[in-house]
Structures are given as structure tokens and as C-alpha cells.
Amino acid sequence: GAVRVKKIAPLPGFRAAKPTVFQGLFPQSGDEFEALRAAVERLVLNDASVSVSNETSVALGPGFRCGFLGLLHADVFHQRLREEFDADVVATAPTVSYRVRYPDTPETSFEDVASPAALDEKRLHQSGGRGGAKGVIEEPMVDATIICPADAVGKVVELCVDRRGSQLEHAQLGVDRVMLRYRLPSAEIAVDFSDELKSRTSGYATFDYDDAGYEPADIVRLDILVNGEAVDALSSLTHRDKAVRRGRDMCARLKEALPRQLFEVAVQAAVSGKVVARETVSAMRKNVTAKCYGGDISRKKKLLSRQKEGKKRMKRIGNVDIPNEAFAGLLSTQSAQRRK
């Protein structure tokens, strides 16, 4: 007889995996792009939770914008690229997906912004929206549950406040354990929150969190400029209150990473076109007076004056090429530097 097919309803609660942390992945050199593309495509075949789209950086060339379920997921993906396909990549700093409503769109119309380049700041701050509406940026929030020893509560509370958290619950669990619940921005836990928590509690804290929707926030784009030119790979989205401190940190690290040029190089951090931090990479200087043995001091002054004028001219027309090794060092040590 005919085979009867019984329809089975799927179990409720299953949803497609949604990426929460985004990174740009770029090859160490431009001629390795096709090999990286093949490696990423093969890895995505058995890990459907990774989202991949093409992205081009002025500084790093062609690459990919990848979405992961978390930082651990991203680290495993990088490790598999290295071990299974021998692919060394430059990964940009992790970011989360913000929601943006521009003034010229309906109040319920939001766009997802997962990279600094996707944020149109000029459009966001323009006037004359519908009914005088203003642009809004919303950031993803999480409800974090932390269980830690009672003697470490002060350090944990300090960490959560520094990460813009608001306390939801503070409960005693027995004599020597405490449960803390905080609402935290997802961007603040995306980099090194778990490591910092373990450090402050000597490894005795547990940390778990659930999504808690979106909330409006004063998010700005922090641009890093080298010799007046913005370096798109180092741009980031951050809260306005932390932009100056983060800009100073990035400028200081970039100053150490940049190779010295024959002319002075200015490293600047800017928010909405306003410079908030600056470092200067001093020029390499040739000893032009080495061949002057004795004689009038005016001869030495003339040579030094010519050198100074030449360096001014070079600074005006010179371009700074940042090697990929500098990017790799900068981006891989961001979380380590932040903890110091």
C-alpha cells in the first residue's frame, strides 16, 4: 500500500544563529587574497553560523567582513585558518552591530551598522528630518550574571561601572559568594571583559549573559589619521565618553609601531572631524655636518637650514606607507594594551 508520511512539527525555540561580533579579515599581502578566499569558503561550509561578506580597505586591500557568535568563536576560526590552511590573516578589532535610524527615514526604520565605514555621520547629524526628527544610534545590551567571592565584589563592581554598566541585582549566596546582575553594552564585553574579570577575582568568578535588546547611546566614530590621511582599518565605533582615552592609546601605540620616515609624521585621533589626541613620530636625521672639520660656524648653520627646509618640503608631499606587520601588531595587542 501507499506509504503514509506523518508530518512532525519542529520543536519550538529554534532560531537561526545570529552573529554578535564582527571582524575584518585581510591577507598579509595582496597576492594571498585568493588563497584566503578559498580557505574561508571551505571553513564556512561546515560552520554555517559564520557570516561572510566582501570588504575592501584602503590600507589593507581586499578582505572579508566576518560575523561570529562570540570572541571564542572568532579565535577558533582564526586558529583553524592557520592550522588547516596555513593562512596568516590581519584581523581588525572586534565590533558589534549597532542600529542606526537616520533623520530622513521613518521612526521605525533602522539600519544595521557592523563596521565604522558603514556609518554615515554626515547624514546622521543633518537637520530637516521628518517632523524635526534627529538621528539615533542604538547599541546592543546584555544582562550579565556574575558570581564571585565576597572579597572581590568591590573590584567587580568597579569593572562593571567602568564598562558603563547599571546594576540590576546584588544578592548574597551563602557566606562567601555574591551574585551580581548588570546590564552592560555588548561592545564593552566584546574584547576583554571576561579576561579582566578573571584577573580581578583570581579566576574564581563565573560570567554568563543574555541579550537584552537595544538602547540609545552616544556612539561616535573614532578615526586615526597618519600625516593627515585617515587609516580606515584603525577606525572604530566607541562611546563619546571613552573616545579621547581610546584615541590617545591608539596614537601612542601607532607611534611605536610606525617605521620612522625622513620627515616628521603626525599621528592624530579625530572624532567628527575634531582632533582629540596627537603624537609625533620624529624624523630620521642625517648628520649633514659630518664632513665639516673646523671652519666658520655659519657653514654648519647653512647646511642644517637646508636640511630643515628639505624636511618641510618632504612632509608636505610625502606619503606614509604603513606595513601590514604594523597593523597585525597593533590590532593583535589592543586588548593586552587596554588591560595595562
**Is residue 124 situated within a structural domain?**
no
**Is residue 113 situated within a structural domain?**
no
Single out the residue in 187, 216, 245 at which a domain terminates. Answer: 216
323 shares a domain with 229: yes
Its pTM surpasses 0.85? no
**Is residue 147 situated within a structural domain?**
yes
Single out the residue in 181, 216, 251 at which a domain terminates. Answer: 216
Q: Is the dihedral of CA 39, 43, 44, 45 positive or negative?
A: positive
pLDDT in tens, the chain (340 residues): 566 777 777 677 766 677 778 888 888 877 888 999 999 999 998 888 888 988 888 777 888 988 888 778 888 898 999 899 988 888 887 888 899 988 888 877 888 888 888 888 888 877 655 556 688 899 999 999 999 999 999 999 999 999 999 999 999 988 899 999 999 998 888 777 888 898 899 889 988 888 889 999 999 999 988 888 888 878 888 999 999 998 998 888 888 877 777 677 888 999 988 999 998 887 766 565 556 666 666 766 666 677 566 555 544 444 666 666 666 556 554 444 444 4
The rounded distance, in Å, linking the Cα atoms of 46 and 36 is: 16
Report the 10 Å Cβ neighbour count for 203.
8
| E strand or H helix at 170 | strand 166-173
From 161, 110, 170, 117, select the one nearest 140 (Cα to Cα). 110
225 shares a domain with 154: no
204 shares a domain with 175: yes
Number of domains in the chain: 3
Single out the residue in 216, 247, 278 at which a domain terminates. Answer: 216
266 shares a domain with 328: yes
236 shares a domain with 190: no
The rounded distance, in Å, linking the Cα atoms of 255 and 149 is: 40
251 shares a domain with 175: no
